[in-house]
Amino acid sequence: MCYCWLRGAGTIIATSLVRAGIGRVKIIDRDFIEYHNLQRQVLFDEDDIKNELPKAIAAERHLKKVNSSVEVEGIVADVNFTNIEKLVSGTDLILDGLDNLETRYLINDVSLKHNIPWIYGGAISSYGMTLNIIPGKTACLRCFSPDSSRHRMGWTCDTAGVINPAPFIIGSLQVVEAIKILVGAELK
Round to whole Å and give the CA distance between 30 and 9. Answer: 16
Query: Residue 56 above 90 pLDDT?
Result: yes
Which of 165, 175, 148 is closest to 13 using CA atoms? 175
The partner residues of 129 in beta bridges, in order of sequence, read 122
pLDDT 10s digits, 12-26? 999 999 999 999 999
Q: Is the pLDDT of residue 4 over 60?
A: no
What is the spatial distance between Cα 115 and Cα 14, in angstroms, rounded to a whole number?
A: 22
Confidence (pLDDT) at 161 = 76
pLDDT at residue 17, as a whole number: 95
- Residue percentage of the chain with pLDDT more than 70: 87
Distance between CA 127 and CA 85 in Å, rounded?
30
- Residue 8: is its pLDDT beyond 80? no
Q: 87 with 3: CB under 8 angstroms?
A: yes
Distance CA 182, CA 82 (A): 28
CA–CA dist 167, 54 (Å, integer): 20
Q: Determine the average pLDDT of the residues in 114-131.
A: 91
Give the pLDDT mean for 144-167.
70
Domains assigned to the chain = 2-182 (3.40.50.720)
Residue 51 pLDDT exceeds 80: yes
- Would residue 11 be called left, alpha or beta, if left means φ above 0 and alpha means ψ between -120 and 50 degrees? alpha
Is 2 catalytic? The answer is: no
pLDDT surpasses 70 at 148: no
How far CA 158 is from CA of 36, 37, 61, 96, 162, in Å, comes to: 11, 11, 27, 18, 9
3 state DSSP class of 164: coil
